[in-house]
Amino acid sequence: MTQQKLSDTPAAPGVHPIQAPAPSVPDGAAGPVAPGPGAVAALWPLGPDQVRLDPDGLLGRWQRRNAAVTLPHCVDNLHSAGNIGNLRAAAGEADEAFAGMWFADSDVHKTLEAAAWELGRSPGDAGLRSFVDDTAALLARAQQPDGYLNSYFTVAAPEDRWRKPEWSHELYCAGHLIQAAVAAARTGVSPGLVTVARRFADLLVERFGPGGADEVCGHPEIETALAELYRLTGHRPYLDLARRFLDLRGRGLLGPGRFGPVYYQDHVPVREAAEVAGHSVRQLYLLAGMVDVGVETGDRTLLDAAERLWEDAVRRRTHVTGAHGSRHRDEAYGDPYELPPDRAYAETCAAIASFQFNWRLLLATGRARYADEMERALYNAVAVAVSHDGRHFFYSNPLQLRTGHTGAGEESAARRLPWYTCACCPPNIARLMASLHGYLATAHEDGLQIHLYASGSVDTEVAGSAVRVDMRTEYPWRGRIELTLDGAAAVPWTLALRVPEWCEAHTVRIDGGPVIAPVRDGYVRLTRAWAPGTTVVLDLEMPVRQVSAHPRVDAVRGCVALARGPLVYCLEQADLPPGAVMEDVRLDPAAPAVADRREDLPEFPVVLTAGGTLADTGDALYTATSGRGRRGTPFTLTAVPYFLWGNRSEGPMRVWIPIAASG
């Protein structure tokens, strides 16, 4: 595929490529990512108070479950696992050994961020507010006189402070503290947390800024956090330090380490990198920071590099579910097309990092492909990590679980667990879900763009006038999205509705009448002076698709994945005939899959049924063959949404289904 630089991106109606600073971001636009008034961005995000999810819609239910169950569960485990106790010890208020991973503070910070976004949405939760207030005060007491704040290096290893950047995660933890403080300030929940974060950030500027130590963190994250702190405060040294960290990476400053400098993305300068590499979460957080710094400084070399690496990741190294990471050994990307379904690491945090990276690219460019990738990751690679009850989680998310898999180890993905020794994923899920409504829509001076579809409402200002859009949909189960617009504008403005890449046919009706609405650059763009009460209905056709991988993906050659709309489906042992073995299942290509509702499977709003066979594989490990396989015993195959697997019972699962032999 020919590489296309941001500066070469053709302008589309309602989309402004990166050429000049965006106009001033309107009041209230203060979600997780908020480009500054001088940022070279195509779109501006809406503030969390401008978008609301209906609690009865799928995304709204996820957010409601997160608030009612997942967030309190995280808070409870921070106490029981010792994270809060570590901070008490750092404050001199407890005399106990350090507990957990040396970067355990980051789980506190991520949970704090989640709580801040949730309280900004629902301020009446007294228990959550008490957690935020008490924890912010504890962090202030645990902070050292010079601003340093890290319980492990205060309690357990003070002699190693700043001495082992390749593994210490000191800057990584600082980054999550900063992001929690930004969320608390933007929601008005705990502005004082910014004081704690800024004291630490000022120490970082003093130590690592111009003339300071030439060091980078083994786990990128600080770059995007410092950029956001700059956006909150306007204090330029924070942005300059973020850029300095990017400039220093790739010089081999972290040494060889256990897996080599590629693991840390420290093998090549970021602007010169041609391929994603190493630990997938670290790579994606680094890319997010590159976009943040690029749009704030106008540095096209960073933005072009981010898009170039996106191309490599998505075109050659991303699983069909939108998950990233092929190897367990170093939680890393593999070679091009190395995408084993059963050994996929596909860490939950990597899917969340991909979602965040794509959101930044969407804001920077206005290109629909980034919203498409957000959607794929959200509905599959992120959603799969959380159980129905909101209290159990996958760390890794393979696309196949073999019959007889022992399930040894925390990261085996044989079952969701309530917590982990390395508990990075549950708080990360909590912070994304608490802020999820902030990712649905964007605006620009000439219109409003809807990127993710969910029942809810958007209240913002467009073309100088207040506008409200109510959205009703059963998406992703149904492709009908109905919008009602209220508010009057003195001039016409453009409503842009994303048509996902997977959708091959759509219709649009305005006030019941059909309109010609071609897709341009991934969006239907409707421009008019909207009268109050106008209805727009977008219907996206959702046929069942059989998805094939590139022939170079050896691990799934001869297989297909079933998909419908944004959802990838899978087979579970629970839906096979008694005594059947998952590895013997074949899909009959002559019997097309159809969408269905099953009365006996009420937990799955839409399942897929298709013709299948159970191959007679015999017992021999190797046999001579003439090239013609036996058709096997026919049966009706049932596929369920991948994100819902593992909620009924433990057992084998697979996304990629072998095709039955013909003849």
Query: Beta-carbon neighbour count of residue 171 at 10 Å?
Result: 24
For residues 601 and 593, what is the distance between their CA atoms, to the nearest angstrom? 17
Residue 580 CB-density burial (10 A; 0-12 exposed, 13-18 middle, 19+ buried): middle
Cβ-proximal residues to 600 (8 Å cutoff; 6+ apart), any chain: none
Distance CA 483, CA 328 (A): 44
**Residue 7, phi then psi, degrees to nearest 5:** -70, -15
- The total number of residues shown for the chain amounts to 663
Least Cα distance to 287 among 353, 337, 332, 338 occurs for 353
Q: Is the dihedral of CA 281, 287, 291, 294 positive or negative?
A: positive
Output the six-digit token pair for 179: 């992001």
Q: Count Cβ atoms within 10 A of the Cβ of residue 405 and give its class: 0-12 exposed, 13-18 middle, 19 or more buried.
A: middle
Q: Which amino acid is at 276?
A: V
Rounded to whole angstroms, how far apart are CA atoms 424 and 24? Answer: 35
From 231, 365, 359, select the one nearest 296 (Cα to Cα). Answer: 231
Q: How buried is 646 (Cβ within 10 angstroms: 0-12 exposed, 13-18 middle, 19+ buried)?
A: buried
Beta bridge partners of 53: 456
C-alpha to C-alpha distance for 16 and 126, rounded to whole angstroms: 43
Are 428 and 349 in contact, with CB atoms under 8 Å apart? Answer: yes
Catalytic residue among 424, 425, 503, 559: 424
Phi and psi at 355, nearest 5°, equal -55, -45
DSSP 608-658: EEEEEEE----S-SS----S-----EEEEEEEEEGGGTTSS----EESSEE
Residue 349 annotated among the catalytic residues of the structure = no
Q: What does the buried/exposed string (b/e) look like for 29-57 if buried means 16 or more CB atoms within 10 Å of the residue's CB?
A: bbbbbbbbeebbbbbbbbbbbbbbbbeeb
Put residue 512 in one of left, alpha, beta given phi > 0 → left and psi -120 to 50 → alpha. left
Please state the separation of Cα 447 from the chain's center in Å.
26
Measured CA to CA, the distance from residue 112 to residue 127 in angstroms comes to 13
Torsion sign across C-alpha atoms 556, 560, 561, 565: positive
Structure tokens, 401: 């679980």
Helices (H), 122-258: 126-142, 151, 170-187, 192-208, 222-233, 236-248
Please state the φ and ψ torsions of residue 386, each to the nearest 5 degrees: -110, 135
Catalytic residue among 113, 228, 296, 331: 331
Q: Is residue 96 flagged as an active site residue?
A: no
* Catalytic site positions: 331, 424
